Amino acid sequence: FLMFSGLFATVAAQDKIVLGFSQVGAESEWRTANTESIKNAVANDPRIELKFSDAQQKQQNQIKAIRSFIAQGVDVISFSPVVQTGWTTVLEEAKAAGIPVVLTDRKVDSDESLYVTLVGSDFVEEGRKAGAWLAQAMNGQANIVELQGTVGSAPAIDRKAGFEQIIQHFPNLKIIRTQSGDFTRSKGKEVMESFLKAEGENIDALFSHNDDMAIGAIQAIEEYGLKPGEDIKIVSIDGVRGAFEAMIQGKLNCTVECNPLLGPQLVEIVKGVVDGKEFPKYIPVKENIYVQSQAKEVFSERKY
């Protein structure tokens, strides 16, 4: 019997760590790069096996996926929460089942005892960087329209707050219209069309919470007969390839980097959690801002 249990213990030790990951969706270039980074990092690690689920930007789908991970008895659950609120119940269920939870990308407003850590970007800081760039580029004077991200999501709330922290110091920088474009190109285009219809050439600048919506808006501006990047200055966030292409064409002025390549960090954290390591509640990701004049030079080094 002792021999057998020894054998089982060895087999168990070699068992893979099963990671259940619930992704927000596939709403943007950023998200696609993020998903790829996570899948590749796991594929390159012999210790981890991934169960991946796409929630199509719906919180109920994420809750369902997390409950199914709990029912399957995965070793670690990870997810990028589409919105900030409404997670406490399902996080308590994971805790009761003894399954640790690692948040990626977006934060939740639940008690921090319900998760191990959050690995992600500082969205308030990104909003501040966008605001500071625009204030300087417009000499402190502009009528701004704002395309917000998904309503209730951490990046939409925090990027808006950070941007406003900066522009409030400039009495002639005004947000004249603001609406959500749900982080997608098609919605960004649609909402920009409605801004143009209402305000026309009164618009001096656009602050878009992500590059995809800015790219949609660029189309709307061109169809309206104005020059994006010139008649309307544009700053957005993410730093995806599409943004660099738009900058090279002179149609986008600035992008604030938000690094989606979290996969390798996530893999290290997941293994650490299983090995009993301690983590701080927040692990930041490094990032930069890029302006039009650097775009060509930097483009070839971009990995997303």
Binding site for ligand GYE (CB under 6 A): 27-28, 30-31, 105-106, 155, 183, 210, 212, 237-238, 258
Sheet with 254-257, edge to edge strand ranges:
173-180, 142-148, 205-208, 233-238, 254-257, 289-291
Nearest distance, CB of residue 27 and ligand GYE, angstroms: 5
Distance between CA atoms of residues 247 and 262, nearest Å: 25
Nearest distance, CB of residue 183 and ligand GYE, angstroms: 4
Nearest distance, CB of residue 5 and ligand GYE, angstroms: 46
Q: For residues 17 and 216, which CB has a smaller minimum distance to ligand GYE in the complex?
A: 216
Q: For residues 215 and 221, which CB has a smaller minimum distance to ligand GYE in the complex?
A: 215
Q: For residues 75 and 158, which CB has a smaller minimum distance to ligand GYE in the complex?
A: 158
Q: For residues 26 and 274, which CB has a smaller minimum distance to ligand GYE in the complex?
A: 26
Nearest distance, CB of residue 182 and ligand GYE, angstroms: 9
Q: For residues 110 and 121, which CB has a smaller minimum distance to ligand GYE in the complex?
A: 121
Contact 252, 219 (CB under 8 A): no
What are the distances in angstroms from CA 158 to CA 12, 123, 211, 220? 43, 5, 16, 26
Q: Concatenate the DSSP letters of all residues of 51-115 into one string.
A: EEEE-TT-HHHHHHHHHHHHHHT-SEEEE--SSSSS-HHHHHHHHHTT--EEEESS--SS-GGG-
Nearest distance, CB of residue 212 and ligand GYE, angstroms: 6
